[in-house]
């Protein structure tokens, strides 16, 4: 390893991103009452809030999940009354997934928790630095999505919970 490579190895950002994600996950897990939404629930409900009702297959693609995992996730959400699945009248083989009123309420409560946790985790950053961090992470996530698509691995319409540059709409995945 050259000296330049050794210096670059000490400047990696992925371990820092993982560390901050772990800190945030732990904070989220400890501040919730038992039975509250898990991150995968929040993401799925956020997709439905953003895009409206979707076929079960389209939701799975948006979440980059295997169909069998989508079924398990939707079973959990449906048991709690947070989503509803109905047969598509145009194609009885398809299920349409919709966000319920209870799902909207639970998601709003989770959003409030997440904002508080983000404020704690990123307290050392100014609002301008937070905006810059979000922009950089958005661009990096969009690049990762583009790379997955180029390799034919599939992806959602955009990176999880981030806006496409210039459109202002969040697209959780």
Where residue 115 sits, what CATH number does that domain have?
Answer: 1.10.10.10
pLDDT attached to residue 64 = 84
Q: Which one, of 108, 54, 45, lies nearest residue 78 by Cα?
A: 45
- How many domains in the chain? 2
pLDDT in tens, the chain (173 residues): 677 776 677 778 889 999 999 999 888 888 766 667 888 899 999 999 999 999 999 999 888 889 899 999 999 999 999 999 999 888 888 899 999 999 999 999 888 888 889 999 999 999 999 999 999 998 998 888 788 777 775 544 444 444 333 333 333 33
Helix and strand element counts for the chain (H, E): 7, 5
- Indicate if 45 and 116 belong to the same structural domain: yes
Q: What is the rounded distance in angstroms from the CA atom of residue 146 to the CA atom of residue 39?
A: 24
Find residue 83's DSSP bridge partners: 99
Q: Do 162 and 36 touch, CB atoms closer than 8 A?
A: no
Q: Is residue 27 part of a domain?
A: no
Q: Do 46 and 99 touch, CB atoms closer than 8 A?
A: no
**pTM exceeds 0.85 for this model:** no
- Indicate if 84 and 149 belong to the same structural domain: no
Q: Is residue 24 part of a domain?
A: no
């Amino acid at each position: 390893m050259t000296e330049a490579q050794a210096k670059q190895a000490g400047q990696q950002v992925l371990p820092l991103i993982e560390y901050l994600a772990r800190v945030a996950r732990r904070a989220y897990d400890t501040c919730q009452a038992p039975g509250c939404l898990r991150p995968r629930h929040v993401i799925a409900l956020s997709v439905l809030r953003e895009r409206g009702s979707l076929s079960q297959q389209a939701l799975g693609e948006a979440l980059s999940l295997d169909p069998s995992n989508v079924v398990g996730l939707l079973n959990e959400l449906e048991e709690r009354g947070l989503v509803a699945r109905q047969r598509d009248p145009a194609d009885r083989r398809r299920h349409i997934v919709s966000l319920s009123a209870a799902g909207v309420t639970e998601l709003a409560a989770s959003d409030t928790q997440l904002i508080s946790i983000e404020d704690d985790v990123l307290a050392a950053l100014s609002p301008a630095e937070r905006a810059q961090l979000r922009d950089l992470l958005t661009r990096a996530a969009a690049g990762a999505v583009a790379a997955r698509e180029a390799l034919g691995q599939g992806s959602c319409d955009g990176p999880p919970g981030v806006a496409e540059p210039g459109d202002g709409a969040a697209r959780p995945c």
